[in-house]
Amino acid sequence: MTQFLQIVTTLVVLCYPVAVYFGLNYLPQGSIALVLCSLLLLRFFINKQKLKSLMLPIAAGIVLTMSSYIAKANDWLLYYPVVISTCMLILFAHSLQWGPSIIERLARLKEPDLPESAVPYLNKVTFIWCIFFIINGAIAYYTAAFTSLSTWTLYNGFIAYLLMGILFTGEWLYRTFWLKKR
């Protein structure tokens, strides 16, 4: 049952912009905030011991959705992608400052005996992700503050994910093909 709830809450978090779009257009005032807050709370308790680094964005989402519900301010829901980008920037930048970087940790999951010569490259990749989160957060803020709900949903529910996928795939291709030739 826990695994099923994990999958459902993951899908809801990934589909957050689409859920907000449909909730604000088709559900009674405040109901989407309450539903999203409940699902984030569930995710928080499911992940408590597993993914401690993801607790910050989930907790921030709980505060934001609950505040939106209490204040009856639906537009606050639009700032969750900004919160996520900010939290991820903090996590990635903190890992660069205090080490090991997030990307190094992920690389060591696949290759525990990673050579020390790879660490500077992995730190650069982590830095690139930090830049991405700054730009993505700024665009997410702009879409929340100054564009229509449709534009916000398009960017935060599709384009941002596409850009993350391009960055991830581009780095993987570079690492797989270019660095192995050296």
What gap in Å lies between CA 154 and CA 144, rounded to an integer?
11
Helix (H, G, I), strand (E, B) or coil at 147: coil
Q: What is the pLDDT along the chain (182 residues), one digit of tens a residue?
A: 677 777 777 787 788 999 999 999 998 888 999 999 998 888 888 776 555 667 888 888 899 999 999 999 999 999 999 999 999 999 999 999 998 998 888 888 888 888 888 889 899 999 999 999 999 999 999 999 999 999 999 999 999 999 999 999 998 888 777 666 55
How many Cα atoms occupy the beta-carbon half-sphere of 28 within 13 Å? Answer: 2
Q: Position 80: which residue type?
A: Y
> 20 with 36: CB under 8 angstroms?
yes
φ and ψ at 155, to 5 degrees? -70, -55
- Cα 65 to chain centroid, rounded: 16
- To which H or E segment does residue 52 belong? none
> What per-residue confidence (pLDDT) applies to 88?
92
Please give the torsion angle defined by the CA atoms of residues 86, 90, 96 and 101, in that order, rounded to the nearest 10 degrees: -80
For the chain, the first-to-last Cα distance in angstroms comes to: 47
What gap in Å lies between CA 175 and CA 151, rounded to an integer?
34
